[in-house]
Amino acid sequence: MRLNKPSGNMYPWAWTANPLRGACPHACDYCYGGSLKKRLPEIKKKYRGPIELDEKDLKIKTRKIPDDKIVFVCSMTDLFAEAVSSSYIERILGHCRDYAFNTYLFQTKNPSRFDNFIGGFPKKTILGVTLETNRNYEGTKAPSPVSRAASMTGIWGIDTMVSIEPIMDFDLEFFVSLIRDIGSVRFVSVGADSEGNNLPEPTYVKVKALIKELETFTEIKMKKNLERLKK
């Protein structure tokens, strides 16, 4: 499985792997992949049409990366979306188990499917969920943030993480409680919209209040693009 070093606005602490082709079923209108498709013909070609395994990619031996980095699997799509075949998920998990010296991040907006594969993840796994806000947002076909958070509360014995990106306006007390209730949250990554999508964003003061609350029970990884919200 081909691994790519961190670049652009992706997680600076994660390499990426994308052994899945096709358009992401969640079709979020703020997806950074949309801008990549406009600029890079090869990206547009790979991430359109039906979902398929990239068999050529899966034949590549996965390299060992530095111990302080992790592998974000399927960073350009959602491996656990309902439209993704279970057999595809099993193939990709099996490949990761074959190269179990790395730590793998599986991040999704449909964590209810994690339970179906709970015994198949590699030993060093982090299960992640995207929660841009606690409020409903119409620009996506993904499950609601509240239902996503609820699906994460039943995970035991595996580290979890939360991605609040792109951060949207939220209800502070309720949002913090959703994340706290997940349990075993190794860290929370917080970032802003980098694509000019005119999202309903919180003030920087509100973001700082959120971070202060979250720091009482987990580590926070802040992205530099949050600086824009100071203006």
pLDDT at 172: 98
pLDDT exceeds cutoff 60 at 37: no
Q: Identify which of 132, 62, 142, 146 has the alpha carbon closest to the alpha carbon of residue 104.
A: 62
pLDDT at 206: 98
- Global pTM value: 0.95
Task: Please say whether the beta carbons of 77 and 47 come within 8 A.
Answer: yes
pLDDT exceeds cutoff 90 at 158: yes
pLDDT tens track for 183-203: 899 999 999 998 889 999 999
Residue type, 143: P
- Does the N-terminal peptide bond of residue 166 adopt cis geometry, omega within 30 degrees of 0? yes
Tell me which DSSP letter residue 87 carries.
Answer: H
pLDDT exceeds cutoff 90 at 150: yes
Fold of 14-230: pyruvate-formate lyase- activating enzyme (3.80.30)
**Cα separation of 152 and 182, whole Å?**
6
Residue of 43 and 11 predicted with greater confidence: 11
* Structure-token pair, residue 215: 């720091």
Domain residue extents for the chain: 14-230
Q: Please state the rounded mean pLDDT for residues 39-45.
A: 76
Q: What sign for the dihedral angle of Cα 131, 216, 211, 202? A: positive
The whole-angstrom distance between residue 156's C-alpha and the CA centroid of its chain comes to 19
**Antiparallel, parallel or unpaired: β 70-73 and 104-108:** parallel
Tell me which DSSP letter residue 123 carries.
Answer: S
pLDDT at 38: 61
pLDDT at 33: 65
Neighbours of 45 (CB within 10 A): 11
pLDDT exceeds cutoff 80 at 231: no
**Cα separation of 146 and 214, whole Å?**
17
Q: Identify which of 131, 139, 130 has the alpha carbon closest to the alpha carbon of residue 29.
A: 139
